[in-house]
Every structure is written in structure tokens, then in C-alpha cells.
Amino acid sequence: MRAIAVGAFRADPALVEIPKPEPEAGEVRVRIEYAALNPTDWQTAQGAPDDGPAPRVFPVVIGVDFAGRVDMIGSGENRFRVGDQVFGRVARPNATGCGTYCDYVSVPQDSAITVVPPGLPLRAAAALPSAGMTAAQILETSVVRGHESLLVIGAAGGVGSYLTQLASARDIRVIAAVRGPEHGRMTELGAAVTLDLTDRPLEAAVRERCPDGVDALVDLVSTDPDAFAAHAALVRPGGIALTTRGIAAEAALPADVTGIDFRLEPTPVLLDVLAAGAAEGVLRVPIDIELPLEKAPQALDRNRTGGARGKTVIVL
Ligand SMILES: NC(=O)c1ccc[n+]([C@@H]2O[C@H](COP(=O)([O-])OP(=O)(O)OC[C@H]3O[C@@H](n4cnc5c(N)ncnc54)[C@H](OP(=O)(O)O)[C@@H]3O)[C@@H](O)[C@H]2O)c1
């Protein structure tokens, strides 16, 4: 089968032919029709993903998000049938290099995989798992309740586009910090305020809008603990500062602000909730770019340099 893979960390991802995986007991094999790009994909190719340990077996097939049809069932109990339309996110256990930028993937039937509901195109389903579950789980775990303010730094990308929608649907006042003229798009997604950081520095813009500080910060971009700490200083006493980049523990945060190092724990239930919202049209799936498998290496390069406006979907 075709796959985009690396033979060593920091090698350039390339199109290769590898054997089709056979489903083991309790697994389903999925004929992938769409995969979606996440920063963890190029981070994994570099050997340092934000969201967990790097795989240890090469070649490493890039990608975690997928949508397609079940084409084979492993032995034993299974909640899926051949032909089911499914989507999900593969776990990246240390020992395997399995990914989703490829024609087939085998996944445990009890992992983060679920049936695509009627009315949701596979293409849209593929764009939900990592970014959608991250946004939903950030809201679940970060004690941001209604009528509060949430500052999202990096709000124009995959996670930010879902988080803005899900938070504003809960009456949370989203302050979307972006780079570029994204006011119209972020307002449509539910942002109460959009701050273009190419216009003026974040600190001054936030202080002007929220003189007493924001209730919560979700920083999707800072990799420098000092930058994260400076952003956390915009949070009111008793509030929270969450990062998806694994740097909260190293940051000198204000004593009265709770730091959270977020790490996604994917579940099929979260997938079901997101898929239902997308099928009903209450959750918009922000697909920015669609391209064929062989263009995936260039798309990974592009994402690494920034500029994401929603999701990139790869067609198998
Ligand atoms: N820990 C976990 O479990 C977990 C889970 C999911 C995601 N993550 C991490 O969270 C991060 C975001 O994920 P994503 O899927 O949303 O990525 P994405 O789709 O690539 O979006 C990132 C966004 O950040 C913007 N950005 C970059 N630098 C910025 C800056 N200084 N100020 C404002 N905006 C900036 C980018 O646009 P511009 O370049 O145009 O500004 C882009 O819109 C990634 O690093 C990912 O690895 C971690």
C-alpha cells in the first residue's frame, strides 16, 4: 500500500510502498479515504511530538486522524462490521510506527474509533478527531464555565477554530488572538473579540479589553516557558493558564494562576459528540485545504511554518 513515512527521525517524509497491515484480534482494518493533518504529524517525523512519546519502530507512517470504511475484522469480539463508515484517531503506542497517511490502518475496536453518523461526509469526519477532541477536552478539563472570558492564542488553526465554536456555544466570551486579518472568520466561529497580533502586542490589546484580566488562557503556540508565563500574567487571580505545548511545568507562572499542561486523551465518546454536532450543523468543520496523498510532504512543511486556517485534509 502507499504511505507517507520517514525512515529515521528528522528525515523528509516521502511516499513509500509498505505491506498492508493485517488486523489482529480485537482490531478492525480501515480502508482510509481521508486523513487530516495535525502539527503532531511533522513533530513526530522530527521525533518530538507535543502530545506523547515518539514511536520507536521505523518506518514511521505519518498521521493520526483518519476516516474510511472497515474492510476487515480481526478475530474475537468486535463492535464494527465490514463496510461501516468510521473515523477516529490512532494511538501512537511506543512500539509501532502505524499512522494514517496511507491506504489501510488497523486499530483496536475499543480505541478512539467510531461510526460516522448519517449526514456527515467522511471528508469532514476526518477533520474532527485530534483538533476537535482537544478543543472539547480542554473545555471539559479546564473549569471554564459560562459567561467567563477565555483568551485563545493561535485561535485561527485547527484546535482554535473548534475551541472558539465550542466555548462560545457555552456562553464563554472568547478573545481570539491571531496573526492577520481574521476578524470576520473568527467572529463567524463565535469569537467575541479578535486580536490581530501583527497590529499590536498581545499584552496591551488584552489589557485594554479586559483590565481585570481574563478568566482563562489557552496558549496553543508558545514553546518558550517565559512567553507562556508572560501570557499567564494576563489571567486574573484564581484563573487558569493552559498550554498544549508541554511547557507549563517549566514556566514561572503567577502564584495565583493554575498552570495546566494539557495532554489529549482520545475517546470514542468524544468523537460521537463532535460528529453529532457536525452532522447537525451546529459545529462547523473548518476545512482549509484538500490535497492528494503525494502532496502531503509539502503540506507538512507548510504547516510547520505556520499559517493554518482550519484543517488540511489529505485524500487517499
Ligand atoms: N498536547 C496535546 O495533547 C495537543 C493536542 C493537540 C494539539 N497540540 C498542539 O497544539 C498546537 C496547535 O494545534 P493546531 O492543531 O491548532 O495547529 P494548527 O492548525 O497548525 O494551528 C496553529 C495556529 O497558530 C497560529 N499561530 C502560530 N504562531 C502564532 C502566534 N505567535 N500568535 C498567534 N497565532 C499564532 C497559526 O497561524 P499563523 O502562523 O498565521 O499565526 C495557526 O493558525 C500544536 O503545536 C499542536 O502540536 C497538542
Sign of the dihedral defined by the CA atoms of residues 45, 35, 164, 199, in that order: positive
207: CATH: 3.40.50.720
Same domain, 13 and 97: yes
Same domain, 163 and 205: yes
Is 256 inside a domain boundary? Answer: yes
Q: Is the peptide bond before 23 cis (omega within 30 degrees of 0)?
A: no
Same domain, 165 and 284: no
In angstroms, the CA 270 to CA 88 distance is 10
pLDDT score recorded for residue 53: 85
| Ligand 1 nearest atom to the CA of residue 310, by list position | 19
Same domain, 252 and 283: no
Residue 163 pLDDT grade (very low, low, confident, very high; cuts 50, 70, 90) = very high
Q: Which domain holds residue 233?
A: 143-261
Q: What percent of the chain has pLDDT over 90?
A: 92
- Report which protein residue has its CA nearest ligand 1's atom 15: 158
Residue 94 pLDDT grade (very low, low, confident, very high; cuts 50, 70, 90) = low
Same domain, 45 and 101: yes
> What digits encode the pLDDT tens for the residues 207-265?
999 999 999 999 999 999 999 999 999 999 999 999 999 999 999 999 999 999 999 99
49: CATH: 3.90.180.10
Same domain, 231 and 254: yes
Is 212 inside a domain boundary? Answer: yes
Same domain, 84 and 185: no
- Report which protein residue has its CA nearest ligand 1's atom 48: 244
Of 130, 166, 244, the residue with max ligand 1 atoms within 8 A of its CB, to mutate for a pocket test, comes to: 244
Name every protein residue with a CB atom under 6 angstroms from any ligand 1 atom.
38-40, 43, 50-51, 130-131, 134, 153-154, 156-160, 177-180, 197, 220-221, 244-245, 262-264, 303, 306-308
pLDDT score recorded for residue 274: 98
